[in-house]
Structure 1
Amino acid sequence: MADSEEKATNEEKPIEPVAENTYTIRPNFMHKFRPAAVKEVIHSVLNEELGEKDYSAEETTEWCKQIGNQITSKLKDTGLDRYKFVVQVVIGEQRGEGVKMGCRCFWDSDTDNYAQDMYINGSLFCVAAVFGIYYY
């Protein structure tokens, strides 16, 4: 009899919603992805993380992860709650050769955008790009 009472009490508990629906399909003006502000975040992180470093092939993978995580955590603090961020970081050795990067995205041009910045010193270059996609 005790098992049936426990099942009955478990079934009667209402499920509470995680978040209320807002039905917002566009961000308001104050919560829009602004490339200039995001570029400042990228610039500060790149200067903090790479300011004193020389190129090291063994360490660049870890540096890319650290820089990507730092940028993501700082962007979460900016209040762009409904945005999903894709952060891409590329570090290479500076040998005087040219490097070209490109990207293509299929998105809503009214809400989604991107920002990028680069850091160059005598031994390395770093390009970081952040794509902000509004979550409907």
Structure 2
Amino acid sequence: MTTPTDATNKIPAKTTPDVQKDDVFTEWRSRKASINAFSGLKPPGDISSRRKSNLRDLTTHLAGARGAGLRRLTMSIRAKSDISADMVKPTVKKENTYRMRPDDDKGFSVAKVEKAVKELFEDELEGVEYSHDTSSKLACEISEKVKERVKDFNFARFKISVNVIVGQVDDQGMEVVSRCVWDDKLDRSVCVTFKNKSLYVIALIFGVYFE
């Protein structure tokens, strides 16, 4: 038999998990509502607040200090879009010419190339002395100048390849060999050498017809 005093001293019944979830959800909604009210956002129940993809609405919504930054971001996006539109150009498709050999007056001329490269070497290398530290750079510069000089002849549909060797004159022998797969009826090669008291230069120029 229980007395009223015993009934009041009983441990209160525990709340069920469903009641606890309802309390947590209610507290979460109240906190979210206060945050939205502080930031100026509409309540989560409003569907229009979820559709903020429009940049104009977003600018109005974030007016103030962040508005200037958003305008700069918009300008940068527009600038990037304009640059990308200018840089992207349609690919020009050219029809096949079906020409298996160059015209008679536009073939690779060995005599013209040899004469032009010899004149270039005499003008550029007459008083140059050999240096181990700058020989590789000198070879690259000579190669580019030779290539530009040959391109001035405008040999149509010919690919130009240049290989330059720079060495020191020191009573030594030198042999250079080159081997290629090409058409001996159309493709041509030229070997031009130069030598002074300090250095020697060997230039191999190849003209390969591109069908």
Shorter-normalised TM range: 0.7 to 0.9
1:22 matched residue in structure 2: 97
Secondary structure at 2:189 match in 1 = strand
Q: Percent identity?
A: 28
Structure 2: stretches of 5+ with no match in the other structure: 1-89
Residue of 142, 154, 159 corresponding to 1:67: 142
- How big is each residue's C-alpha offset from its partner over 1:20-41, in whole Å with a ceiling of 9 and x where there is no partner? 4322110111111111111112
The structure that has the greater radius of gyration is: 2
Structure with the larger helix share? 2
2:123 matched residue in structure 1: 48
Structure with the larger strand share? 1
Report if the CA contact (8 A) 1:42-1:116 is conserved. Answer: no
Residue of 98, 123, 132 corresponding to 1:57: 132
Report if the CA contact (8 A) 2:158-2:207 is conserved. Answer: yes
- The number of residues matched between the two structures is 122
2:176 matched residue in structure 1: 101
Distance 2:120 2:173 in 1: 24
Distance 1:107 1:71 in 2: 22
Q: Structure 1 pair 100/18, CA: closer, same or farther in 2 (3 Å)?
A: same
**Is 2:189 the partner of 1:87?**
no
2:69 matched residue in structure 1: none
Higher relative contact order, structure no. (Cα contacts within 8 Å, ≥ 6 residues apart): 1
Could you list the structure 1 runs, at least 4 aligned residues long, displaced by more than 3 angstroms after superposition.
Answer: none
Secondary structure at 1:108 match in 2 = coil
Secondary structure at 2:180 match in 1 = coil
CA RMSD in angstroms, aligned pairs only:
1.4
2:9 matched residue in structure 1: none
